[in-house]
Amino acid sequence: MLQDHIISVTVENKFGVLARIAGLFSSRGYNIKSLSVAETEDPTCSRMTIVVNADEKILEQIKKQLNKLIDTIKVQEFTNTSYLDRELMLIKVNTDPKKRTDLFQIVEVLNGKIINMTRKSITIEITAASDILENVIKMLQPFGIIETVRTGKIAISRDAVD
């Protein structure tokens, strides 16, 4: 069954590593839904969060292939509730002066932040789980969305409460 999976990969922080990972997906015809990369607390490592849409068999292959790369240090898959995930979105919408207060209210309810405002547009920053962002887009659609940018999902394991 096709399903989204979140894979977190710790890699050597070297040039060319991203190309290796991307190449691994493209040469096998696997699709990356989102990918985000940055250095970790250890500057010799980078961490990538990759969301893929795949069935179980392909997912197994992806994990094995990722592990096989010499520059891959660790591969982790996040399943079910064992993780916390967030995504950052910047969304620019039209501002019809008449509807401004409606817009402000929605932004507040959504825990968004207005980071720029002109006579024509308002730019909002929102951090949330990815499915919530989908919802935000739906809510803001009536105002007229000019553009959106999303970072892609990042995830971290959730420790049990003690």
Partner 1 sequence: MKNKMSGAKILIDALVNEKAEYIFGYIGGQVIPIFDELFGRKDITMIVPRHEQGAAHAADGYARVTGRPGVCLATSGPGATNLVTGIANAYMDSIPMIAITGQVPTTLIGNDAFQEADITGITRPITKHNYLVKNIDDLADIVKEAFYIAASGRPGPVLIDLPSDISKGEAYFNYKDSINLRGYKPNYTGNPRQIKNAAAMIKQAKKPVIFSGGGILHSNASEELLKFVEKTGIPITTSLMGMGSIPSIHPLFLGMPGMHGTYYANMAITHCDLLVAIGVRFDDRVTGKIKEFAPHAQIIHIDIDPTSVSKNIEVTLPIVGDAKNILGQLVSLCEKSDCSIWLDEIDKWKKSHKLTYHETDHVIKPQFVIESIDKITGGEAIIATEVGQHQMWTAQFFKFKYPRQFITSGGLGTMGFGLPAAIGAQIAAPDKIVFDIAGDGSIQMNSQELATCVNYNIPVKIAILNNNYLGMVRQWQELFYSSRYSGTCLRICSHEKYHDKCNKACESDNKEKQKYTPDFVKLADAYGALGIRITEKKDVEGAIKKALAYQGPVVMDFHTDQQENVMPMVPAGAPINQMLITGIA
Residue 150 CB, shortest distance to partner 1, in Å, is 28
Helix/strand number for the chain, H first, E second: 4, 9
Rg over alpha carbons for the chain, rounded to the nearest Å, is: 19
For residues 127 and 62, give the distance between their C-alpha atoms in angstroms, rounded to a whole number: 28
Which one-letter DSSP state was computed for residue 120? S
Which CB sits closer to partner 1, 23 or 144?
Answer: 23
Closer residue to partner 1 in complex, CB, 27/79:
27
CA distance 59 to 22: 15
Cβ atoms 137, 148 nearer than 8 A: yes
Specify the residue, 59 or 88, whose C-beta has the smaller distance to partner 1: 59
Shortest Å, Cβ 8 to partner 1? 15
Residue entry with tokens 């197994």: 60
- In the complex, minimum distance from the CB of residue 37 to partner 1, in angstroms, rounded to a whole number: 16
Q: Which is nearer to partner 1, 22 or 115 (CB)?
A: 22
Report, in Å, the least distance between residue 16 CB and partner 1: 7
CB nearer partner 1, residue 77 or residue 85: 77
Q: Which residues are at the interface with partner 1 (CB under 8 A)?
A: 11-12, 15-16, 19-20, 23, 27, 57, 60-61, 64-65, 67-73
Least distance from partner 1 to the Cβ atom of residue 68, Å: 5
Question: What is the DSSP-derived secondary structure letter of residue 142?
Answer: G
Q: How far is CA 14 from CA 20, 46, 54, 95, 130, in A?
A: 11, 9, 28, 44, 29
